[in-house]
């Protein structure tokens, strides 16, 4: 399965813990797992857990515009994207979950 | 480099995502295949994503170049 998670909640919300556990479970079942950070979800890119999950196979995308607004400079392992990129990811996904 | 003949120019200074891509796409849709659009941008995230989105749409990005302090041009040939 191709799972896409859209994360707009900040990294100190209960959503963040839910998302981390959900991704771990999804990767364990070898699902293609992608996450798109936007709005205050961009701050999650600064959390070590996301980098660790990326190293386990999570594909990480973020809205470059929202990152610029927040002066966040994500590391190169996260892919710069946009609303257009998000639309494309959504059409490719089997399931889309949004945390806002 | 051979001078590229520009058919249309779109000044998007002051515009940010997603309008930079949306407006570029709308102008491109009005043009004929083979014609060339030059887009002026002053917003760094758009300079990364407008070319990427254009390529994903099947258009040909000829050039992405910084032309001034916080100013870029993106040159796109309409393919389809």
CATH of the domain at A15: 3.40.1260.10
Q: Where are the alpha helices (DSSP H) in chain A?
A: 14-28, 48-55, 64-69, 83-92
Task: Supply the pLDDT for residue B18.
Answer: 87
* Residue B5 in tokens: 């003949």
Choose among B66, B67, B65, B39: nearest CA to B53.
B39
Into how many domains does chain A fold?
Answer: 1
Q: Nearest CA to CA, how far is A28 from chain B (Å)?
A: 30
What pairs with residue B41 in β-bridges? B72
Number of other CB atoms surrounding residue A73 within 10 Å: 9
Task: Supply the pLDDT for residue B1.
Answer: 53
- Please identify every stretch of chain A with a pLDDT value under 50, giving residue numbers as ranges: none
CB contact set of B68 (below 8 Å; sequence gap of 6+): none
Residue B53 with chain A: CB contacts under 8 Å? 82, 84-85
Task: Supply the pLDDT for residue B39.
Answer: 97
Task: Supply the pLDDT for residue B2.
Answer: 64
Choose among B78, B47, B48: nearest CA to B62.
B78
Average pLDDT, chain B: 93
The pTM of the full predicted model, rounded to 2 decimals, is: 0.87
Q: Is the pLDDT of residue B3 over 80?
A: no
Q: Please name the residue of chain A whose CA is at the shortest distance from the CA of residue B48.
A: A80
* Residue A44 in tokens: 């999650």
B45-77 pLDDT, tens digit per residue, is: 999 999 999 999 999 999 999 999 999 999 999
Q: Which domain holds residue A52?
A: 2-99
């Amino acid at each position: 399965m191709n799972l896409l998670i859209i994360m707009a909640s900040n990294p100190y919300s209960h959503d963040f813990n839910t998302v981390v556990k959900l991704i771990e479970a999804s990767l364990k079942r070898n699902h293609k797992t992608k996450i798109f950070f936007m709005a205050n979800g961009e701050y999650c890119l600064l959390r070590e857990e996301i980098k660790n999950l990326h190293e386990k196979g999570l594909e990480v995308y973020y809205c470059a515009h929202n990152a610029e607004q927040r002066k966040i400079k994500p590391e190169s392992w996260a892919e710069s994207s946009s609303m257009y990129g998000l639309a494309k990811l959504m059409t490719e996904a089997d399931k889309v979950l949004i945390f806002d | 480099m051979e001078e590229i003949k520009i058919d249309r120019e779109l000044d998007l200074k002051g515009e940010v995502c997603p309008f930079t891509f949306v407006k570029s796409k709308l102008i491109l849709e009005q043009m004929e295949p083979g014609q060339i659009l030059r887009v002026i941008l002053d917003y760094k995230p758009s300079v990364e994503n407008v070319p990427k989105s254009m390529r994903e749409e099947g258009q040909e990005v000829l050039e992405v170049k910084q032309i001034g302090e916080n100013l870029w041009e993106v040159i796109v040939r309409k393919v389809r």
